[in-house]
Chains A and B, each alone.
Chain A
């Protein structure tokens, strides 16, 4: 059931779901779950359930979208009708188109697109169940799917949000905190170089709060990064020659 606004977000240093302020929700990633796609990943992050599939590089259709210099990365973020409390009308809408775009930009910076001119790399992100932070979950799953598809990239892209609830900066907001909190700050980074490939903010933060939240989110990203690597190692770990 959908919960109304809580009176307090943090009681005795514990959040409503029992986490500390700098603790992630339990995260589980599995690579290579789909047979038909070139690469795929399934992710469970608290109440989020996300499936990402990657195809390509493949011939681009419609042809006029082809770029003779590099591959075109196309991302499709979509929420299942049953992913939220109130049925979501299926199909693209303003929100999912925005998320598709920021996801594409977050991933474009790491994929070596110039190696495959005139082709498309398609990434499909399906949100099966949502509990806030789905864009971060989507980017995290998508970059595992890209690596699973054998696509050359600079690094994996982990994403994680931080935010402010009840006057306190917290890591990885879940739905109640996201709905009634003061701010949400999703961040995606390229861990090796520390570059930021996604940075959005919803709500208000002072400059000091922003910096604190940003640092916390980056710390969260590094934890997510470890899980991504673990998932890929698990999938291919038995491989040796």
Chain B
């Protein structure tokens, strides 16, 4: 489907419609508030952002770094967004008693985690949890930063892109909605995956991307294996 590029202030709809993100109403007309692609599917008018920072949504998986502890019973986590997230001791994946074992001894500042956004309060307090299936502490590997607007492309429809990369390279890979990608593999393979991710980011707007990335990985993998 062809989606139109809209610029803040551009009229996108009129009358009674449901408003999604990136639009605002003034009188009877609807205007875009952000730069992006206009999407009017399913009776909702919204603008898909092409740039911009990450804002947490409940249900997102994010990659974060422990910054420190607050109130002795919670960790403060940097999740690459304007607000730092809170990980309560009770949201750690197993039972811990913060009054017996200081939290920084369980996860010290600098620890990287893959966590789930549990709650975003009205005053923008972000609660994340590691009780969700899939959450974990990340060890080793490398982190690659990409634009959060391009993350859906790296994941692919029904995770097609990730599955393909993991299948073709045998690497371990996690993608946070906040624009951080974690890769663990042999250095040559990790380099290759990193390049692939950067290529996806650069070419996010084109179609047939999964096939092109696959082609690139297969070709470069042969080069490496041939040596």
Whether the Cβ atoms of A56 and B3 lie closer than 8 Å is no
Closest to A121 in B: B82
Taking the nearest CB of chain B, how far is it from the CB of A135, in angstroms?
21
Q: Evaluate whether A149 and B51 lie within 8 angstroms (CB atoms) in the complex, with A118-B83, A192-B31 already known.
A: yes
Chain B residues lying within 8 Å of A150, measured Cβ to Cβ, are 34-36, 49-53, 149
Chain B residues lying within 8 Å of A119, measured Cβ to Cβ, are 82-83
Whether the Cβ atoms of B24 and A112 lie closer than 8 Å is yes
Whether the Cβ atoms of A153 and B205 lie closer than 8 Å is no
Chain B residues lying within 8 Å of A229, measured Cβ to Cβ, are 7
Whether the Cβ atoms of B24 and A154 lie closer than 8 Å is yes
Question: Would you call B33 an interface residue if the criterion is a C-beta within 8 Å of the partner chain's C-beta atoms?
Answer: yes
Query: In the docked arrangement, what's the CA distance between A193 and B27, Å?
Result: 12
Restricting to A155-195, which residues have a CB under 8 Å from any CB of B? Answer: 155-156, 190-193
Chain B, 21-39, contact with A by CB distance < 8 Å: what is the 0/1 string? 0101010000101111100
Question: Would you call B123 an interface residue if the criterion is a C-beta within 8 Å of the partner chain's C-beta atoms?
Answer: yes
Chain A residues lying within 8 Å of B83, measured Cβ to Cβ, are 59, 118-119
On chain A, the number of residues with a Cβ less than 8 Å from chain B's Cβ atoms is 37
Closest to A57 in B: B82
Q: Evaluate whether A57 and B31 lie within 8 angstroms (CB atoms) in the complex, with A147-B8, A232-B7, A239-B205 already known.
A: no
Whether the Cβ atoms of A59 and B82 lie closer than 8 Å is yes
Closest to B149 in A: A150
Question: Would you call A151 an interface residue if the criterion is a C-beta within 8 Å of the partner chain's C-beta atoms?
Answer: yes
Q: Quick one: which of B50, B51, B53, B84 contacts A57, CB cutoff 8 A?
A: B53
Chain B residues lying within 8 Å of A151, measured Cβ to Cβ, are 34, 52
Question: Would you call B101 an interface residue if the criterion is a C-beta within 8 Å of the partner chain's C-beta atoms?
Answer: no
Chain A, 188-225, contact with B by CB distance < 8 Å: what is the 0/1 string? 00111100000000000000000000000000000000
Q: Quick one: which of B9, B22, B36, B123 contacts A156, CB cutoff 8 A?
A: B9
Tell me the total A-B contact number using a CB cutoff of 8 A. 98
Query: In the docked arrangement, what's the CA distance between A229 and B9, Å?
Result: 10
Chain A, 14-57, contact with B by CB distance < 8 Å: what is the 0/1 string? 00000000000000000010000011000000000000000011
Query: In the docked arrangement, what's the CA distance between A93 and B83, Å?
Result: 33
Question: Would you call B5 an interface residue if the criterion is a C-beta within 8 Å of the partner chain's C-beta atoms?
Answer: yes
Question: Would you call A233 an interface residue if the criterion is a C-beta within 8 Å of the partner chain's C-beta atoms?
Answer: yes
Known: A59-B83, A150-B53. 16 other contacts (CB 8 A): A56-B53, A58-B82, A112-B24, A117-B123, A118-B123, A119-B83, A147-B7, A147-B34, A150-B51, A152-B24, A153-B8, A154-B31, A191-B9, A192-B31, A236-B35, A240-B3
Query: What 4 pairs across the A-B complex have the smallest Cβ distances?
Result: A150-B52, A155-B9, A150-B51, A239-B205
Pairs across A and B, CB under 8 Å, 21 listed? A57-B82, A58-B82, A117-B123, A118-B124, A119-B82, A119-B83, A147-B34, A147-B35, A150-B49, A150-B50, A150-B53, A151-B52, A152-B24, A152-B33, A154-B8, A229-B7, A232-B35, A233-B5, A240-B3, A240-B205, A241-B3
B residues with a Cβ closer than 8 A to A are 1-3, 5, 7-9, 22, 24, 26, 31, 33-37, 49-53, 82-84, 123-124, 149, 205, 207
